[in-house]
Amino acid sequence: MTFPLPLESLLGQWGAYGVYLLIGIAFGAVLEMAGFAVSTKLAAQFYFKDMTVLKVMFTGIVVAMLLVFLATGLGLLDYNLVYVNPTYLWPGILGGLIMGVGFILGGFCPGTSLVAAATLKLDGILFALGAFFGIFLFGETVGFYEPFWNSSYMGRFTLMELFNSETGVIVVAVVLMALAAFALSEVAERVIGKQGKAIRPRWRYGLAGGAVALSVAVAFIGQPSNADRWNMLEAEKQPLLDARAVYVHPAEMLTWMNDPKIVNILVDVRSEAEYNLFHIRDARHVPYAELDAVVEEFNALPDNALVFVMSSDEVQATQAWKYLIAEGVVNVYILEGGVNNWITLYGEGAFAALPTPAADALAYAIPIAYGASHPAASPHADRFLFDFEKKVVLTLKRGPASGGCG
């Protein structure tokens, strides 16, 4: 089993909440021990007098980054299921500036104010109450500037996408940048903060060297490709294909398509020419080579979502199923017999069958580009009665789960 673990399915809802509570308490305790419950210590960061905030938070970022990508490279973690806050560029910049001003004026960020409040510090309690009031005001007024609030959406945008670089290169660069920031922060504390040359443990140099070595190891190991991830899952997932447990009869797919409680995503991986000739109602054209562009979207689908992949027959659709499964997408099924089978069942003889169709190509001669305008693209289920074995079972999603320090 790869991480992150599906805690709710393993421990139940309350058991999972217990784990979350323990993690939250531990995180708060670490912040308090680092001095993050003292507003003057936090505010000193902005005057370059005490750089504890940078050191603690940057250390947390570096350690988490190294462990996440090392575990991913070793096949222990599915990075697609690790939550990354979606980027809304301009709202994010404005929100960061507002929060920064509030941090300087009040001496806390929302997370550290709760740490201070937990230790019964009056300024922390007042700041936390102010944060809650600000949340209330935001909720009551967001409708006035909602277009801006949702603007410049960039999705799951990371440094790898920004610099179009390999993960390992970014990991090494971030570690080196952190060490440089630590060195400069100590200079700032001596020169601006007048702290003098404090006695610092020499073993920190060993930790710094270890971080660099670990980052190089991450770069050397690399990150698993889609093929690598499928190889890790093949023993578990290939039997589903062999038993045809994920090949769904067209009548069952049509039933789900007409269920208002289900979010149906129909993915047609055929060529654009075949898609334009005929495709099922609401089917999206996503060629196999472009599946990576929809993985993030599919991993964020709600629990009541089903993804059906289809090709003219089953070959390309099966490959697409493997790709999506390897990327952590759940509730993915294949249209049994593909679009050809759909036309056979619902076309009512409108198209002539080709005598010798190519492999995984349309088996019917379609004279014009119907798209989804032909009646067979959106048949009425009550007009066609077929016996079929139900295959679809909604699976609890394993992620992504939200997070952050607030």
The answer, as to whether pTM is greater than 0.75, is yes
Instruction: Supply angle C-alpha 368, 369, 375, rounded to 5.
Output: 95
pLDDT band for 398, please (50, 70, 90 cuts): low
Query: For position 401, what pLDDT does the model report?
Result: 47
- pLDDT at position 403 over 90: no
What is the tens place of the pLDDT at every residue in 162-197?
Answer: 999 999 999 999 999 999 999 999 899 888 988 876
Q: Which amino acid is at 367?
A: P
Query: How many Å apart are CA 282 and CA 273, to the nearest integer?
Result: 17
C-beta atoms surrounding 104 within 10 Å? 13
Q: Cis link prior to 4 (omega < 30° from 0)?
A: yes
Average pLDDT over residues 99-127: 92
Query: For position 236, what pLDDT does the model report?
Result: 92
* Averaged pLDDT score across all residues of the chain: 90
Query: For position 402, what pLDDT does the model report?
Result: 47
Query: For position 198, what pLDDT does the model report?
Result: 64
Angle between helices 52-73 and 167-191 (to 10 degrees): 160
pLDDT band for 21, please (50, 70, 90 cuts): very high
- pLDDT at position 396 over 70: no
What is the tens place of the pLDDT at every residue in 307-339?
Answer: 999 999 999 999 999 999 999 899 999 999 999
Query: For position 136, what pLDDT does the model report?
Result: 94
Query: For position 2, what pLDDT does the model report?
Result: 58
pLDDT band for 397, please (50, 70, 90 cuts): low
* CA distances to 185, 227, 291, 334, 377 from 269, in Å: 53, 18, 9, 11, 16
Name the strand (E) or helix (H) holding 309: strand 305-310
Dihedral sign computed on CA atoms, order 168, 152, 61, 297: negative
Contacts 24+ apart (CB under 8 A), 184-192: 185/48, 185/51, 185/54, 185/55, 186/51, 188/48, 188/49, 188/51, 189/48, 189/49, 189/50, 189/51, 192/47, 192/48, 192/49
- pLDDT at position 399 over 70: no
Average pLDDT over residues 74-94: 88
Query: For position 156, what pLDDT does the model report?
Result: 84
What is the tens place of the pLDDT at every residue in 30-45?
Answer: 899 988 999 999 989 8
What is the tens place of the pLDDT at every residue in 190-205?
Answer: 889 888 766 678 888 8
- pLDDT at position 294 over 80: yes
C-beta atoms surrounding 377 within 10 Å? 20
* Domains in the chain, CATH or no CATH each: 7-225 (no CATH), 227-383 (3.40.250.10)
What is the tens place of the pLDDT at every residue in 140-158?
Answer: 999 999 999 999 988 888 9
Query: For position 208, what pLDDT does the model report?
Result: 93
Query: For position 97, what pLDDT does the model report?
Result: 93
Of 325, 310, 189, residue with least CA distance to 249: 310
